[in-house]
Amino acid sequence: MKYRPERTARVSRSPHNDDQFIFAETPNGKKISLETVCSWAGVRHVVTRANPLDIRIHTGSVDYVAARPGVRAFCLAARFIPKEREKAGRYILERLAFGANEWTSREILQADHRRKKREASAHRKTETAA
């Protein structure tokens, strides 16, 4: 049976931005851990949470958040995720960080950006010293 969020859950659009996730009641899709996503993207998982993120990849056509008591499930449409693992991991992190305003993903991306900046700065210093 093909998943259609309009039929299985009440869905409402966010009034703020079309790029943001829509909201639904029922999560669907294959669960994937944040650690797996970080390893695909080639970034360090630098944030520890009391409750792990509920990330799911589904076959539908829209990304949505399924809110349940105490936890939110972030359900991403597989059709938009790139096939290459590194690009897929980066896309999922960025989509969670900036599309769903998920702070853990944002912190991971910011830490990776700071690391790359430090490495570039150290590389420039060694070039000028040589």
Give the whole-angstrom CA distance, residue 31 versus residue 54.
Answer: 7
State yes or no: pLDDT of 6 exceeds 80: no
Give the whole-angstrom CA distance, residue 71 versus residue 2.
Answer: 25
Please report which confidence band the pLDDT of residue 86 belongs to, taking 50, 70 and 90 as the band edges.
very high
CA angle 93, 98, 88 (to 5 degrees): 25
Question: What average pLDDT does the segment 88-112 reach?
Answer: 93
pTM: 0.77
Query: Can you give the residue ranges of every domain in the chain?
Result: 5-129
Give the whole-angstrom CA distance, residue 113 versus residue 71.
Answer: 28
Q: What is the pLDDT of residues 25-47, one digit of tens each?
A: 888 899 999 999 999 999 999 99
